[in-house]
A = this chain, B = another copy of it.
Amino acid sequence: MTASDSSDSSAETRVAIMEATFRALSKHGYSELRMRDIGQELDVSRSLIHYHYEGKHDLISALLEYIVDQYEGSVEVTEETDPWSELDRRIDQCLFGPGFDEEFGHWERMRVYHDLFSQAQHNERHQEIFNRHYDRIRGSITQVIERGIEDGIFRAVDAEEMAQLITDSIHVARERKISLGQDEAPEQMRHAIDAFVLSSLVDPESVVTLMKSNRETN
């Protein structure tokens, strides 16, 4: 076995443990989860769990980082993507989820994510992971808004404030679906973000400026 084989197989084991933890958490919920439940979901030897992780809380924190990484790495944009398309893609991805190959889809993952989020006030490490994740999502939306402003495509707004509102809106729409069973919430929110938030990026002044210049030349 070469060094590279060994690290591949170690990475595979971690993924297998993460997916087992995810399945166990989906079945039993956060407060009821026992190490045994995770072991039962795992095909490889249970001793591997103890080799890689310190215990239930360490495992759950690792799972949260694993889910968050999957989301952050999944938006495909290049420098050539125009700001409107990038903004749309980033919003849609967070609201409706990327297409996962795995057995569990976006909403199963989000159910676990929101469950841990609501309990984060009692867990400093989770709170840190969520705060970092929020910062990064808001950061990537801020960047694309700033790029659009620099290119003269968007009206000059407080990019960070708007990015925060968009990030918050995505979060609450997912939560309304999960907690209140309002399945229409994400689609509704997508429309509301267009109608009331992104509309601020279209410059109303440009209409006035156009009329002014027409007037002066007439």
Contact = CB atoms under 8 A, between A and B. Distances in A.
Nearest to A115: B118
A120 B177 CA distance: 11
A56 B75 CA distance: 45
A207 B131 CA distance: 41
A189 interface: yes
Contacts of A195: 157-158, 161-162, 200
Interface string A188-214: 110110011101100010011001100
A200 B201 CA distance: 12
Interface stretch (A2-10, A36-44, A166-174): A166-174
Q: Tell me what chain A mostly uses at the interface: helix, strand, loop, or mixed.
A: helix
Interface of A: 29, 31, 111, 114-115, 117-122, 127, 130-131, 134, 157-158, 161-162, 164-165, 168-169, 171-173, 175-176, 178-182, 188-189, 191-192, 195-197, 199-200, 204, 207-208, 211-212, 215
